[in-house]
Amino acid sequence: MLHWLTLMADSFPSLLWAALVFTVPLTLASFALGLTVGLVTAVIRLFGPRPLAAVVRFYVWIIRGTPLLVQLFLIFYGLPSAGIVLDAFPAALIGFTLNVGAYTSEIVRAAIGSVPKGQWEAAYSIGMNWSQAMRRTILPQAARVAVPPLSNSFISLVKDTSLAAAITVPELFQAAQRIVATTYEPLILYVEAALIYLVLSSVLSALQDRLERRLGRYGGFLEAKS
């Protein structure tokens, strides 16, 4: 037991460094870019011309229908066959961004669709054009609906970044793998990595609850939960 505790203490700085330098930035950048892609995709599917809507539907279909790990392998290991060579971190960033974009597009599309049609009519009646109505009236209401599932997607992304270890990104899980390769103590090191993921997810869950409660003051989720 003492040996395990010593090993955990010795490996903790390396694991924490990998989490702060690679896991957290990869999560934040992927989610921010993916949410942007998802918003654009959702708007095109709802309001765009038919040919363009068909293109983004195809994109969502492909991403949602294939495993994330396969997508990462195609980008990092497959694209070099076509003459496109990417470093591990940019490849992971592209893969996670495309994956997040596809899933969040469905969340955003459903949230926008949940806003009553009368809100559009009310916005037009006071002289707003389409973009003003979307920006000032529709999206703020849709955001309250979208926050819980988007928060869940963000928390899931924190854990999904462990897949980046498969394409040599030196994030938290790969840092644990490297220490295991030298210490031959997989059980305790993988448990330690899991605990770090658990702490990150728990902190984000607590922040999600606070955000939902704050939005609930403005007619969000608390009424629906009661």
DSSP states along 101-138: HHHHHHHHHHHHHHS-HHHHHHHHHTT--HHHHIIIII
> What pTM, to 2 d.p., does this model score?
0.91
Cα distances (Å, whole numbers) of residue 160 to 53, 67, 137, 157: 28, 11, 34, 5
Structural domain count, the chain: 1
CATH number of the domain that residue 201 is part of: 1.10.3720.10
pLDDT of 226 above 50: no
End-to-end CA separation in angstroms for the chain? 47
Can you tell me the distance from the alpha carbon of 97 to that of 114, in angstroms, rounded to the nearest whole number? 25
Can you tell me the distance from the alpha carbon of 27 to that of 51, in angstroms, rounded to the nearest whole number? 32
Boundaries of domain holding 208: 3-215
Residues in the chain: 226
pLDDT of 169 above 80: yes
In this predicted structure, what is the pLDDT of residue 42? Answer: 97
- The answer to whether position 220 is within a domain reads no
In this predicted structure, what is the pLDDT of residue 211? Answer: 85
In this predicted structure, what is the pLDDT of residue 78? Answer: 97
The backbone torsions φ and ψ at residue 84, rounded to the nearest 5 degrees and listed phi first, read -110, 110
